[in-house]
Amino acid sequence: DAKTTQPPSMDCAEGRAANLPCNHSTISGNEYVYWYRQIHSQGPQYIIHGLKNNETNEMASLIITEDRKSSTLILPHATLRDTAVYYCIVRPWNSGNTPLVFGKGTRLSVIA
Amino acid sequence: EAQVTQNPRYLITVTGKKLTVTCSQNMNHEYMSWYRQDPGLGLRQIYYSMNVEVTDKGDVPEGYKVSRKEKRNFPLILESPSPNQTSLYFCASSLSLGGGQPQHFGDGTRLSIL
């Protein structure tokens, strides 16, 4: 898997958009960008993934730069329940049983 | 509701007493996997299964067994638990391994082996 770089921590005011960046400058053409989060000691929760186009679902939006070397996860209206560690993972679409590798992620604190 | 269900959520037991952690998914997923999470070590894969009756070792399989007799169930068996298996365990599933399918995780099982 390509390496990803994320800031170790971020704060966001409740109700504001949380923009979490991820750098994946060595990404290959067949690799997706995935975002997961883990709320303290709960199971990792899948958020969204994309290949090259921007994606949106009920939880978040994913913006991937045109050169695919970085991406941003956007939580449009952060709530206290969005406080978690967010992981950006790059992985080939045909990865077989390559286990998910969760790096250190970004610890997002949503503040009232 | 689509989900991965693990039981029990918490268990304290003693060395050598066989235990089974159950995992069930209701999404008709082919692929299932077990991970353990330890401080500073992140998630490590124990075993995985590509489909019914097809299982294989992950990165840390020692001391564990699994079976996949039905598509929805993938139990993790500790035949003779030891204190170094004290950990937080997660079961995960996905529709398949290809095509960029995301993995969905259970809520975890916290095991303490005394």
Chain B partners within 8 Å of A97 (Cβ): 31, 33, 48, 50, 56, 58, 97
Q: Residue B112: pLDDT above 90? A: yes
Query: What is the nearest CA distance from B18 to chain A, expressed in angstroms?
Result: 24
pLDDT higher than 90, residue B96: no
- Give the number of other Cβ atoms within 10 Å of residue B25's Cβ: 22
pLDDT in tens, chain A (112 residues): 558 999 999 999 999 999 999 999 999 888 899 999 999 878 999 999 999 989 999 999 999 999 999 999 999 999 999 999 999 999 887 766 667 778 889 999 999 9
Calculate ∠ Cα B101-B103-B106, nearest 5°: 155
Could you give the CA distance from residue A34 to residue B37 in angstroms, rounded to a whole number?
Answer: 19
Contacts of B108 in chain A (CB under 8 A): 41-43
What was the pLDDT predicted at A100?
A: 75
pLDDT (0 to 100) of residue B87? 97
Main-chain dihedrals φ then ψ at residue A89, nearest 5 degrees = -130, 135
User: Distance between CA atoms of B73 and A72, rounded to whole angstroms?
Assistant: 36
> Quick one: pLDDT at residue B41?
84
- Look at A101 and B108 and tell me if their CB atoms are within 8 Å: no
- B3-41: pLDDT as tens digits: 999 999 999 999 999 999 999 999 999 999 999 999 888
Burial class (CB in 10 A: 0-12, 13-18, 19+), B28: exposed
The verdict on a CB contact (< 8 Å) between A97 and B56 is yes
Which token pair is A22?
A: 């991820």
Residue B99, amino acid? G
Look at B88 and A41 and tell me if their CB atoms are within 8 Å. yes
- The residue among B44, B41, B43, B70 whose CA lies nearest residue B55 is B70
Task: Check residue A78 and give its pLDDT.
Answer: 97
Best of B105, B107, B111 to disrupt the A interface (most A CBs within 10 Å) is B105
Please name the residues in contact with B41: beta carbons below 8 A apart, sequence gap of 6 or more: none
> Longest Cα pair distance anywhere in chain A, in angstroms?
42
Q: How far apart are CA B114 and CA B102, in angstroms?
A: 35
Whether A99 sits inside 8 A of B88 (CB atoms) is no
CA dist A23 → A2, A4, B109 (Å): 10, 5, 32
| pLDDT per position as a tens digit, B35-88 | 999 988 888 999 999 999 999 999 999 999 999 999 999 999 999 999 999 999
Write down the pLDDT at residue B49.
93
Terminal C-alpha separation, chain B: 36
Map residue A82 onto helix, strand or coil. Answer: helix
Nearest CA in chain B to A32: B100
